Amino acid sequence: MKTEHARTEHLSAALVRLLAVGAGAAVANSYYNQAFLGHLTFEFGLAAGVVAIVPVLTQAGNALGVLFIAPLGDRLERKFLILLTICALVVALIGAAVSPSFLWLAIASLAVGLFATVAQQIVPLAVHLAPPADRGRILGKVTGGILIGILLARVISGTISDLWGWPFVFWFAAVLMSAVGVALAFWLPRVPPTTDLSYPRLLASLWTLVRTHSVLRRAVAVQFLIFAAFIGFWSNLALLLAEPPYQLGGTAVGLLALVGVAGALSAPIAGGFADRRGPAVVVSIGAALVLLAFLIFGLWQGSLVGLIVGIVVMDVAVQSSQVGNQARVYALDPSARSRLNTVFMATMLAGGAVGAGSGGAAYAAWGWTGTCIFGGISAALALLLSRKS
């Protein structure tokens, strides 16, 4: 009881907001460069296909950070690890801002992606500090902050790069992360490590967790399928909007993405519902809503209103299912929450990669109907798995 009481004292409403802002600001660094690739092609005189290596390397850095840095949250004092990672991220951002060549920028982008995964250290820390009765709600707030960071990243980056040039995007990000780091240094409590495993054994224990916990296997399988459907939709939306009857450009895609703020607002609500009724119910509802969204996309093809309604339903569903699944996963082993988060996020990102590839293949073969069929099948399988949980 004393431990839980201490956690409650450490996790004030202001600190929850700071953690949400910190996680959102950190994850935004992985998406800034997607908005100014056109500026890079002009400045460095490269083809679009070559410039695309910048976001690819950033996402590759994300994958490496999730697998090899995030698990250290169980092994090292968490405040120290978070602040150290933020310092490294600021250095990487400054390195990107002063890039004298495209090669330099590409290497800096890999480093930015690697250390932007500090967001995946903040999430399990918030869960660790939260009292059991409020874990779902607090997880929802921090997850909502991450989604808002992703949504705003492209808007902020596009505006700054158009007005002052792409290097100023990285300068802005470096200043923002420095401010976040100072705030966390003042208000974040120290949290002792939960294990003394060596680093090789720490990484090896990831497989042990998967083998030991059937709930973990079920949760990652469900989220893999849901995220595959989600990314399958977004990776083909620009292609759909470029064709009749829409004939819209990239700006329209960005505006439709902002509709996803509904998902950010719904995440704390879903977390609170998970606290009261259990996370398994939230996951099943989320999977069912993803299926509903793809039915809307498929049945109301050619309707912009149908797209908007479907996007709202899907974003609420994906955020709800993620919060519910993460709540189940974090409850499995309090001493391994960073490693459990690594397994969960790495599998979810793999689902996104599969969704982008399979959804793209379905679109190439059968058009938007193919994308809707792929998303619907993935959501239906996720719903069946969630009902067996």
pLDDT tens digits, 34-63: 778 778 888 898 876 688 788 878 988 998
Same domain assignment for residues 244 and 361: yes
Q: How much is the mean pLDDT over the chain?
A: 88
Whether residue 199 is contained in a domain is answered as: no
Whether residue 198 is contained in a domain is answered as: no
Give the type of residue at 344.
F
Look up the domain containing 104 and give its range.
Answer: 2-193
Same domain assignment for residues 63 and 181: yes
Same domain assignment for residues 185 and 242: no
pTM of the model: 0.83
Is pLDDT of 267 > 70?
A: no
Same domain assignment for residues 86 and 188: yes
Whether residue 356 is contained in a domain is answered as: yes
Is pLDDT of 2 > 70?
A: no
- pLDDT for position 315: 87
Distance CA 79, CA 19 (A): 12
pLDDT tens digits, 6-20: 444 467 889 999 999
pLDDT tens digits, 151-182: 888 788 888 988 899 999 999 999 999 999 99
- pLDDT for position 91: 98
Same domain assignment for residues 216 and 180: no
Directed axis angle between helix 13-28 and helix 167-187, to 10°? Answer: 150
Whether residue 13 is contained in a domain is answered as: yes
Is pLDDT of 5 > 50?
A: no
Is pLDDT of 110 > 90?
A: yes
Distance CA 8, CA 377 (A): 42
Whether residue 218 is contained in a domain is answered as: yes
Residue scoring higher pLDDT (377 or 35): 377
Distance (Å) of CA 243 to CA 10, 151, 301, 368: 53, 24, 12, 11
Is pLDDT of 118 > 50?
A: yes
- pLDDT for position 263: 65
Whether residue 123 is contained in a domain is answered as: yes
Residue scoring higher pLDDT (251 or 47): 47
Q: How would residue 296 be classed by pLDDT, with cut points 50, 70 and 90?
A: very high
Name the domain boundary from 193, 213, 241: 193
Phi/psi region, residue 364 (left: phi>0; alpha: psi -120 to 50; beta: rest), is alpha
Q: What is the mean pLDDT of residues 328-346?
A: 92
Phi/psi region, residue 198 (left: phi>0; alpha: psi -120 to 50; beta: rest), is beta
pLDDT tens digits, 180-190: 999 999 999 99
Q: What is the mean pLDDT of residues 328-339?
A: 92
Q: What is the mean pLDDT of residues 317-336?
A: 91
Same domain assignment for residues 149 and 248: no
* Cα Rg of the chain, angstroms: 20
Whether residue 131 is contained in a domain is answered as: yes
Q: What is the mean pLDDT of residues 306-313?
A: 92
Same domain assignment for residues 139 and 170: yes
Same domain assignment for residues 30 and 176: yes
- pLDDT for position 26: 97
Same domain assignment for residues 353 and 282: yes
Q: How would residue 250 be classed by pLDDT, with cut points 50, 70 and 90?
A: low
pLDDT tens digits, 50-101: 887 888 789 889 989 999 999 999 999 999 999 999 999 999 999 999 999 9
- Any idea what the CATH number is for the domain that residue 294 is in? 1.20.1250.20
Name the domain boundary from 193, 220, 246: 193
pLDDT tens digits, 175-211: 999 999 999 999 999 999 999 999 999 999 999 999 9
Whether residue 358 is contained in a domain is answered as: yes
Total count of domains within the chain: 2
Name the domain boundary from 193, 212, 228: 193
- pLDDT for position 7: 46
Same domain assignment for residues 189 and 214: no
Q: How would residue 343 be classed by pLDDT, with cut points 50, 70 and 90?
A: very high
Same domain assignment for residues 90 and 173: yes
Is pLDDT of 223 > 80?
A: yes
Give the type of residue at 308.
I
Q: How would residue 314 be classed by pLDDT, with cut points 50, 70 and 90?
A: very high
